[in-house]
């Protein structure tokens, strides 16, 4: 009987500790970025395919960055110069030295993506909203349609984005 009481006590204490810790764990997760805010912060939004990726040291050799070329299939916002958009993301590997950052966009070769990007003070594009600024696109095996996992068909997603972009542009014009 005593052994059973100890087990119940240990379980009760464990549940209390986990319950008290849960809000801390939840708060430490990255905050989801609202689509509207992500669109507003972006100078350009494109749908395309990842091409060449080149990792390099930044100008003062203090950090590694990777230049990711995206062949643009569709422009949702802004004007992507030519048919390729190059974005710079933190991290990569140069000469056996690797540097990776949490909560940043990661690209894989030949990946279909939707990318939200903004120009930095040097005129180079950076992914907006960290990991939220890159959305992977996959081909549905049963239908062959391009989809965004857990969101639905790509065309519905891009239509929604275009609608929000149009609403934001209208709102900006009305404020002037």
Q: What is the CATH number of the domain that holds 92?
A: 2.40.50.120
5-44 pLDDT, tens per residue? 444 443 343 333 333 333 333 223 334 568 899 999 999 9
Q: What is the reported pTM? A: 0.78
Give whole-number Cα distances, 97 to 17, 56, 91, 120, 167, in Å. 41, 10, 10, 25, 45
The answer to whether residue 133 is domain-embedded is: yes
158 within domain boundaries? yes
Which pLDDT value is given to residue 124?
Answer: 95
Of 86, 38, 39, 43, residue with least CA distance to 66: 86
Q: Does any domain span residue 20?
A: no
Q: Is residue 29 part of a domain?
A: no
Q: Is residue 16 part of a domain?
A: no
Highest mean pLDDT among 30-39, 88-97, 164-173: 88-97
Domain hosting 79: range is: 35-175
Whether 19 maps to a domain, the answer reads no
How many structural domains compose the chain? 1
Question: Does residue 121 lie in a domain region?
Answer: yes
Q: What is the Cα–Cα distance from 162 to 1, expressed in whole angstroms?
A: 67
Residue 105 lies in a domain: yes
pLDDT in tens, 62-88: 999 999 999 999 999 998 767 999 999
For residue 151, give the DSSP letter: T
Q: Which two tokens stand for residue 57?
A: 């040291």
pLDDT for 171 equals: 86
Q: What is the mean pLDDT of residues 150-169?
A: 94
Q: Which of 25-29, 133-137, 172-176 has the largest mean confidence?
A: 133-137
Confidence at residue 96, expressed as pLDDT on a 0 to 100 scale: 92
> What's the half-sphere exposure (Cβ side, CA atoms, 13 Å) at 10?
6
How would residue 3 be classed by pLDDT, with cut points 50, 70 and 90? low
pLDDT in tens, 94-131: 999 999 999 999 999 999 999 999 999 999 999 999 99
């Amino acid at each position: 009987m005593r052994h059973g009481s100890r087990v119940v006590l240990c379980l009760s204490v464990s549940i209390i500790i986990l319950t008290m810790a849960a809000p801390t764990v939840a708060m430490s997760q990255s905050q989801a970025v609202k689509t509207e805010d992500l669109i507003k912060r972006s100078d350009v939004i494109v749908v395309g395919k990842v091409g060449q990726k080149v990792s390099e040291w930044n100008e003062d050799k203090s950090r590694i960055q990777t230049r990711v070329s995206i062949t643009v299939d569709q422009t949702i916002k802004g004007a992507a110069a030519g048919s390729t958009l190059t974005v710079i993301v933190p991290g990569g590997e140069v000469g056996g030295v690797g540097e990776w950052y949490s909560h940043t966009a990661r690209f894989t070769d030949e990946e279909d993506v939707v990318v939200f990007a903004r120009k930095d003070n040097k005129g180079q594009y950076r992914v907006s909203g960290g990991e939220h600024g890159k959305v992977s696109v996959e081909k549905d095996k049963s239908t062959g349609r391009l989809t965004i996992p857990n969101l639905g068909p790509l065309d519905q997603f891009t239509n929604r984005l275009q609608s929000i972009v149009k609403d934001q542009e209208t709102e900006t014009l009305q404020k002037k």
